[in-house]
Amino acid sequence: MPEHLVEDDFRTGRLLRKRSEVENLPDGWMPIPLSIAYKRARPPGPAGKWMIENLRFECKT
């Protein structure tokens, strides 16, 4: 949830921030697995291929 959309809720106490173990890692990041699935009969079109390639590139770094 974008923080700017719920800042009033945090301020009034309707929402609370919960800390997770992930935030306690030295660099603050925890890798998560990502899978891409599609039916062989309906492979991704140009936009889907673009998204897959960009995810692959961004996930390498």
- Reported pTM: 0.47
Name the one residue in this structure whose structure tokens are 């935030």.
23
Split into its structural domains, the chain has a count of: 1
Q: Is the pLDDT of residue 61 over 60?
A: no
Residue 26 belongs to domain spanning: 3-60
Give the integer Cα–Cα distance in Å for 29 and 39.
Answer: 32
Q: What is the mean pLDDT of residues 23-47?
A: 82
User: Tens of pLDDT along 14-24?
Assistant: 998 776 555 55
